[in-house]
Chains A and B, each alone.
Chain A
């Protein structure tokens, strides 16, 4: 059984990515409201994290060169940007910063998982060549038969979102729950890189180095944020 993806006259990729971000933000806002976070805090945090997400997503893929300005997107840059925005906002406003940070960290896998539907339909970041059951077949510029890694990504990251929801609801120590979510997400994202078409078969490819750098950076930022805000649960 194969999954055949037709060539779209207009790629739904951008629309799906934007919808995923909107749904992720809506989920984070809903969670913050439910936890009694001030409306002002929610507004400014969402605004700043959105700006930082945009800046972060472009920063790794937006360059001023002698040929002009190159534009692109980076999912990892966006994730680091979002954490940066929430971190800065928490330091400025100091209204339930741990709950605010948790809400966004929990929503991040949901955003990523849903955005993968866009990748699946567009054919970008596809898997290695594969002709077995559930192989995904494209007839656009990515023409070929591939392992449906985008669908695997989507399912795994939505499950990660559910897992993150469960542990943050159970644990009073929200910072620890953030560490656990990142500690589970980073190795999974690292392992999934092995199935990508661009993975060269080496033990650690360049894409995986980027994942590790972004992961360590996020953990370091959470650690500094916790220290600056002197969050303790004693």
Chain B
């Protein structure tokens, strides 16, 4: 086992400091605490940067629906041409792109929330995403329950 004196170099504080603070790499915490110290020009600049992140995040959040439609259309047209049951590589790649875009939207929103805590756009976006996620999870549960119910009543159809 390791020596107890071995501490990670980047984070731990002496025990007498009740408020956890991290110096290296934690721009977020510093940003939150010093938000009021920014000059109006700096605040405007920060707002701009936060808004850019939020807009890219919004695009990424809703792009999967559009991309899914496009890829489905392409897959269907390829099937029509080749008469194959499906075009596997395309479906895998398209699924990966759709999910990567969705995850990227969350990552960008969290970066905006952490780095620019004062941004109201980022805060609203976060709760909108949480709402959409919760609605999505409920919808999936309902669809699975509905399918199970229908299959149960389906005798050999």
Name the residue in A48, A71, A89, A92 with the highest tally of chain B Cβ atoms < 10 Å from its Cβ.
Answer: A92
Interface segment out of the listed A103-111, A170-178, A200-208, A215-223: A170-178
Instruction: Say whether A231 contacts B68, CB under 8 Å.
Output: no
Instruction: Say whether A95 contacts B11, CB under 8 Å.
Output: yes
Q: CA A229 – CA B144 in complex, angstroms? A: 40
Report if A133 contacts B (CB, 8 A).
Answer: no
User: Which residues from 93 to 118 on chain A have a C-beta closer than 8 Å to any C-beta of chain B?
Assistant: 93-96, 98
Report if A1 contacts B (CB, 8 A).
Answer: no
Query: Within the complex, which residue of A47, A63, A98, A176 is in contact with B130, where a contact is CB–CB below 8 Å?
Result: A47
Report if B34 contacts A (CB, 8 A).
Answer: no
Residues A63 and B114 in contact in the complex (CB < 8 Å), given A47-B106, A95-B22: no
- Give chain B residues whose Cβ lies under 8 Å from the Cβ of A47: 106, 110, 130
- Give chain A residues whose Cβ lies under 8 Å from the Cβ of B28: 40, 92-94
Q: What distance in Å separates the Cβ of B153 from its nearest Cβ neighbour in chain A?
A: 12
Q: CA A11 – CA B141 in complex, angstroms? A: 13
Residues A66 and B79 in contact in the complex (CB < 8 Å), given A95-B11, A234-B9: yes
Q: CA A32 – CA B154 in complex, angstroms? A: 47
Instruction: Say whether A66 contacts B86, CB under 8 Å.
Output: yes
Instruction: Say whether B8 contacts A88, CB under 8 Å.
Output: no
Q: CA A89 – CA B102 in complex, angstroms? A: 15
- Chain A residues with a Cβ closer than 8 Å to the other chain, count: 47
Report if B29 contacts A (CB, 8 A).
Answer: yes
Q: CA A229 – CA B9 in complex, angstroms? A: 11
Instruction: Say whether A59 contacts B9, CB under 8 Å.
Output: no
- Give chain A residues whose Cβ lies under 8 Å from the Cβ of B133: 50-51
Q: CA A36 – CA B3 in complex, angstroms? A: 21
Instruction: Say whether A65 contacts B91, CB under 8 Å.
Output: yes
User: Which residues from 117 to 138 on chain B have a C-beta closer than 8 Å to any C-beta of chain A?
Assistant: 130, 133, 137
Report if B44 contacts A (CB, 8 A).
Answer: no
Residues A172 and B10 in contact in the complex (CB < 8 Å), given A48-B106, A55-B102, A93-B114: no
- Give chain A residues whose Cβ lies under 8 Å from the Cβ of B29: 38, 95
Instruction: Say whether B148 contacts A48, CB under 8 Å.
Output: no
Residues A66 and B99 in contact in the complex (CB < 8 Å), given A10-B148, A44-B110: no
Q: What distance in Å separates the Cβ of A136 from its nearest Cβ neighbour in chain B?
A: 22
Q: What distance in Å separates the Cβ of A147 from its nearest Cβ neighbour in chain B?
A: 27
Instruction: Say whether B110 contacts A64, CB under 8 Å.
Output: no
Query: Within the complex, which residue of A52, A58, A65 is in contact with B86, where a contact is CB–CB below 8 Å?
Result: A65
Instruction: Say whether B26 contacts A95, CB under 8 Å.
Output: yes
Instruction: Say whether B110 contacts A63, CB under 8 Å.
Output: no
Report if A227 contacts B (CB, 8 A).
Answer: no
Instruction: Say whether B6 contacts A63, CB under 8 Å.
Output: no
Q: CA A96 – CA B8 in complex, angstroms? A: 9
- Give chain A residues whose Cβ lies under 8 Å from the Cβ of B94: 64
- Give chain B residues whose Cβ lies under 8 Å from the Cβ of A11: 148
Q: CA A10 – CA B145 in complex, angstroms? A: 9
- Give chain B residues whose Cβ lies under 8 Å from the Cβ of A170: 1
Q: CA A62 – CA B96 in complex, angstroms? A: 10
Instruction: Say whether B75 contacts A94, CB under 8 Å.
Output: no
User: Which residues from 50 to 100 on chain B have a C-beta closer than 8 Å to any C-beta of chain A?
Assistant: 68, 71-72, 75-76, 78-79, 85-87, 91-92, 94-96, 98-99
Q: Which residues of A contact B (CB under 8 A)?
A: 9-11, 14, 18, 36, 38, 40, 44, 47-48, 50-52, 54-55, 58-59, 62-69, 71, 84, 88-89, 92-96, 98, 170-173, 176, 229-234
A-B contact sample (6 more), CB < 8 A, given A14-B141, A47-B110: A11-B148, A44-B113, A48-B106, A65-B86, A69-B68, A84-B103
A-B CB proximity, top 8 nearest: A172-B2, A94-B25, A66-B79, A233-B6, A66-B76, A55-B99, A66-B75, A65-B86
